[in-house]
Amino acid sequence: MKKNYIPTINISALLSGNFKNKKEMKILKEIEKASINVGFFQIVGHGISKKSIKNITAVGKNFFASTKINKMKLAPKKWNKSNKNLYRGYFPNDVNGKEGLDIGDLKVSKKYASKINNQYIEYLNLNKSLSKSSINVLKDYYDDIFNLGETLFKSIIKIYNLDIRNSKVAFKRQKTLSTLRFNYYPNQSKPVEISKQDGVALGCETHVDSGIFTILYQDKKGGLQVQNRRNKKWYDVPFNKNALIVNTGLALEYLSKGKFKATNHRVLWNKTKRLSIPFFFEPSYDFKMNKSFFTKKPNNTTGIIFEKFLNKSLKKFVEYQR
């Protein structure tokens, strides 16, 4: 397998948010090329410290190592009848071979969720299962990773030579459906799927993501593979302690009229424990998805509401059949 199939891009120059000088323009070209040709790339110089990543992985590991009783306190109604949540929260590993914890914008209060009354904007009372210090780590990481998502989205806007302030049309904190997820793969006794294409045992099924970008941290175990759209071969995404993995999703494919396509990926069956922390960068629930978004005169008044777009996309995932 080619070691360099997944490009690595240093985006440190983009963090200033200016998107004006030659160095920044060079990085935008690298992001454009990687997004079009591969659909995946690794980023370094992303501004999220090793300490922050260490802290967020510790929160995940401690949560999944806690008792079943403690974890189930955060489970949606399907698994815990005393909870009203349908979307946010913990799901057990009997669903599809892995445990998960889905967390929305931590700025969403119980009062705000009640006021919005949207199926995906749910208040999750993390105090039931997590310490105050762990919740603070989650808040800080969510803020940082959301800001990073905005930087990447502004990069796409700038590739089209448009006003980066257009990002605010699609993304508004609290209204966003962005999800911070912890995926914990226990010692899986059997694969969740055998690939029909090449007979490989999988720990996570072949799929594409729903949102604009997914920004992922994977641990040393690795196992993530990306499919080349042209020759259909699979390539490993190597572990890089300094990098986060970025891939394009269906929402970006839709908005860009297919220029930035969502890419098939999967996780190999691994008999040892594995933790990954994806952040699904997804627009506001009421954002009108319109294929004119990346044009000089975008139509922001009509289009598919993102909530409906996401709802359709999630139907293919077993863990969301609630």
The predicted-structure confidence for 115-125, as pLDDT tens digits, reads as follows 998 888 999 99
Domains of the chain in start order, with CATH, are 8-320 (2.60.120.330)
Locus of tokens 């009229």: 257
Going by C-alpha positions, the residue among 179, 180, 175 that lies closest to residue 113 is: 175
The predicted-structure confidence for 135-171, as pLDDT tens digits, reads as follows 999 999 999 999 999 999 999 999 999 999 999 999 9
The predicted-structure confidence for 14-58, as pLDDT tens digits, reads as follows 998 888 889 999 999 999 999 999 999 999 999 999 999 999 999
Q: Which residue has the higher pLDDT, 191 or 283?
A: 283
Distance, in Å, from the CA atom of 188 to the CA atom of 91, rounded to the nearest integer, reads 16
Of the chain, the percentage scoring pLDDT greater than 90 comes to 62
Contact 181, 279 (CB under 8 A): yes
Mean pLDDT of 297-314: 84
The predicted-structure confidence for 73-109, as pLDDT tens digits, reads as follows 999 999 999 998 988 999 887 766 678 999 999 999 9
Distance, in Å, from the CA atom of 142 to the CA atom of 137, rounded to the nearest integer, reads 8
Distance, in Å, from the CA atom of 39 to the CA atom of 250, rounded to the nearest integer, reads 11
